[in-house]
Structures are given as C-alpha cells and as structure tokens.
C-alpha cells in the first residue's frame, strides 16, 4: 500500500529540532521525501504498523502533529504532479 506521511514538529527548542531530525530519519528509511515534511512510503500492512509505531515514539503529542494516509491501490487512482521533483519509480525495474 502507499502511505503518505505528513508531520509538523515544533522546532522552537533544541529538543524539538532533534525530534524533527529523528522523525525525518525514520521516514527516509522507509520512503521518499516529496516535500519538506511529506513522504511517500510503499509498505505492507505490517510495515505500516511498524512505521507508525516508530514515528509515535519520536513525536511529542502535545506539541507536534503527525498524519498518516493509507492510499489503497485501486485501479484508476490518479496523482498529478507539478513543478520540480525527481521521483523514484518503486514499481519499475531496478537497474544497478
């Protein structure tokens, strides 16, 4: 499944800036950054649950916001992209 991860971490303190880096690192290990605080991740259900658990361990719920959107793989789903972005095609062939 495709999971969209969006977050807003308070960076008013040094602790908040560290949380922001840790949240980004968790997301980078699972998916690709499509905007500064938005990632696309292709995972199975167990991977989704693990990603959510890791992210929840990093944020401070009273100061930060975390949203995870599960996008079903349905035929006819469409995504429109505008502007400069270089995506990785996870479904295409892997060339080394």
Q: What is the pLDDT of residues 2-50, one digit of tens each?
A: 999 999 999 999 999 999 999 999 999 999 999 999 999 999 999 999 9
Q: What is the dihedral of CA 33, 34, 38, 44, to 10 degrees?
A: -70
Q: How open is the CA angle 50-94-76, to the nearest 5 degrees? A: 70
Q: Give CA–CA dist 22/26, Å, rounded.
A: 6
- Residues counted in the chain: 96
pLDDT digits (tens, 9 = 90+) for 47-71: 999 999 999 999 999 999 999 999 8
For residues 4 and 10, give the distance between their C-alpha atoms in angstroms, rounded to a whole number. 20
Taking Cα atoms as reference points, which of 44, 20, 11 lies closest to residue 30?
A: 44
């Amino acid at each position: 499944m495709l999971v969209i991860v969006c977050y807003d971490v308070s960076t008013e303190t040094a602790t908040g800036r560290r949380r922001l880096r840790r949240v980004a690192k968790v997301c980078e290990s699972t998916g690709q950054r499509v905007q500064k605080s938005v990632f696309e991740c292709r995972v199975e259900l167990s991977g989704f649950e693990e990603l959510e658990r890791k992210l929840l361990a990093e944020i401070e719920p009273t100061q930060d916001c975390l949203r995870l959107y599960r996008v079903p793989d349905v035929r006819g789903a469409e995504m429109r992209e505008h502007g400069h972005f270089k995506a990785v095609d996870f479904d295409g062939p892997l060339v080394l």
